[in-house]
Amino acid sequence: MRQTAPQTRDSSRDRFAAGKPLWARAIATPALEFAPTALPVLQGQIPEALRGTLYRNGPGRLQRQQQRVAHWFDGDGGILAVHFAADGATAQYRYVQTPAWQAEAAADRFLYSGYGQLAPGPLWRRWTAQPKNAANTSVLALPDKILALWEGGHPYALDPVSLATKGLDDLSGLSPQQPYSAHPKRDPQTGNIYNFGMIFGKEVHLQLYRSSPSGQIEQQATIPLPRASLVHDFVLAGPYLVFVVPPLSLQVLPLLLGFKSLSDALRWQPELGSQIILVDRDSLEVVSRFETDPWFQWHFANGYLDETGAIVLDYVRYPDFKTNQWLQEVVSGQPHTPAKGTLWQLRLDPQTSQILAHEQRLPLSCEFPVVSPLELGQAPQALYLIHQAQPEAPIAEMFNCISRVEQASGKLTTAQFATGCYPMEAIYAPRPDQPGQGWLLTVVFDGHQDQSTVQIFAAEQLDAGPLCVLALPEVIPLGFHGTWQAAIDSDRS
């Protein structure tokens, strides 16, 4: 694993982050891989019953030489694994070594197109070049491997212990043209996994997948769409899968000619409205589809049926697609486009396709909502998200709080971090010894100390502060999604 001299790395970080928010220091230089390392405890102690592995994914490399990627979504994926055993915690960080990553590492420059990136060189090269699978968005843990997930292609399989890249995985059912989304849903009762891919072409459609608990695809279905849009996430809600297609349209010709990236070719057209599609999860057949008011969402927290049989969806809503521009500007360290997402709840009648209620639950700028994996598709006790402490936070700032939102009452319990400290998506780890309770695990970057830590909270008592803080040996850049995989044997080491 190649290392950079600390003095050089620190001076590069200082130059990039000068005059910018402290979180910019986390993405100033490419992340450094590190071998399995025992993590020292800085505060508290690791809960005795916490046994398993936290996996996180995100863009670890945003630059080569002096060139930075065009969009945060184009950074090369890096996987952090934190293993909790009887003798303490160890961590390891490795890039997903795709063939494109290896080619760019050898050339020490960017060679491929991506979501927001255009391949360098003449236009004709863009006409034939395949986009780089950055493998940088999320992680799916299976019994014998983990999958690094990306939006537009197959997942990459990795060894769950060494994080060695095994290669593309078709899950015994994906054709070369079928992508596998970064937001699969695992039914907590059956272990079956539901997912989709969005396929562009002469006919635009969602390809649905149902897999066994081992990840092998056992059932597929196709849902035609009226236009090319962007669907990042979906909902498992009792007997239904729910998709919300935002009012985006794709400028195909500039994309095909290489004048625009996929990100730049997507146009916001609110007059089209959002389309809601209800799917029977057993047959994967469409139950109903209808148009409603326009909005955009990246992520849903959860979905379920309430006592009246209505579908309830909790999600982070944006008024338009400016969020994409804000995410593009993240790579500069100082985004300036206003793009505030807030927590909303939608209730709809699956029989009549009528919206029964649609209202904001939390006025704070927030993202990455999650629930306990044991409550997915059911009415949860609470949901968890990261957010800004104040409703009118600076546009360029990242989130500085983690909160628990009680599902029934809306009560908010918050852990607020010190100025210059930034938590990533909180991952829920159920307690094996106390059903209905769990821990939240997050990776926090301290911009004052240039240090990343793993912090563990009691999910029901966030305001009590972390139960344990563990020091990571290197800075982990701000990332996207992760997962928790409980140990099969709680005594394993």
pLDDT digits (tens, 9 = 90+) for 370-409: 999 999 999 999 999 999 999 888 999 999 999 999 999 9
CA angle at 131 for the pair 129 and 133, rounded to the nearest 5°: 140
Please provide residue 3's backbone torsions phi and psi, each rounded to the nearest 5 degrees. Answer: -120, 155
Q: Would you identify the CATH topology of the domain 6-486?
A: Methylamine Dehydrogenase; Chain H (2.130.10)
- Mean pLDDT of the region 333-351: 97
What is the total residue count of the chain?
493
Q: Hunting for tokens 């209620």 — which residue is that?
A: 357
Integer Cα distance of 273 and 257 in angstroms: 28
Q: How far is CA 145 from the centre of its chain?
A: 19
Against a cut of 0.85, is the pTM above it? yes
Integer Cα distance of 196 and 167 in angstroms: 20
- Mean pLDDT of the region 440-468: 98
Share of the chain above pLDDT 90, in %: 90
In this predicted structure, what is the pLDDT of residue 122?
A: 79
Is residue 490 predicted with pLDDT exceeding 70?
A: no
> What three-state secondary structure class fits 381?
coil
Average pLDDT, the chain: 95
Specify the DSSP class assigned to residue 474. S
Integer Cα distance of 438 and 280 in angstroms: 31
In this predicted structure, what is the pLDDT of residue 488?
A: 83
- Mean pLDDT of the region 356-367: 97
Q: Hunting for tokens 């008011």 — which residue is that?
A: 293
Domain map of the chain by residue range? 6-486
Q: What are 455's two structure tokens?
A: 């912090």
- Mean pLDDT of the region 115-143: 89
> What three-state secondary structure class fits 376?
coil
In this predicted structure, what is the pLDDT of residue 2?
A: 46
| H/E run at residue 52 | strand 52-61
Is residue 322 predicted with pLDDT exceeding 90?
A: yes
Residue 492 pLDDT level (bands cut at 50, 70, 90): very low
Is the CB of residue 383 less than 8 Å from the CB of residue 405? yes
Integer Cα distance of 315 and 301 in angstroms: 5
In this predicted structure, what is the pLDDT of residue 169?
A: 98
Integer Cα distance of 151 and 135 in angstroms: 8
- Mean pLDDT of the region 115-144: 89
Is residue 493 predicted with pLDDT exceeding 70?
A: no
Is residue 80 predicted with pLDDT exceeding 60?
A: yes
Residues pairing with 249 in the sheet: 267
Is the CB of residue 60 less than 8 Å from the CB of residue 477? yes
Is the CB of residue 17 less than 8 Å from the CB of residue 25? yes
Integer Cα distance of 291 and 340 in angstroms: 24
Integer Cα distance of 380 and 314 in angstroms: 11
159-173: b or e for each residue (b if 16 or more CB lie within 10 Å)? Answer: ebeebebeebbebeb
pLDDT digits (tens, 9 = 90+) for 185-226: 999 999 999 999 999 888 899 999 999 999 999 999 999 998
Integer Cα distance of 202 and 63 in angstroms: 35
Integer Cα distance of 341 and 316 in angstroms: 6
Rg, Å, the chain Cα set: 21
Integer Cα distance of 55 and 21 in angstroms: 27
In this predicted structure, what is the pLDDT of residue 125?
A: 73
Integer Cα distance of 55 and 389 in angstroms: 27
The DSSP string of 448-464 is TTTEEEEEEEETT-GGG
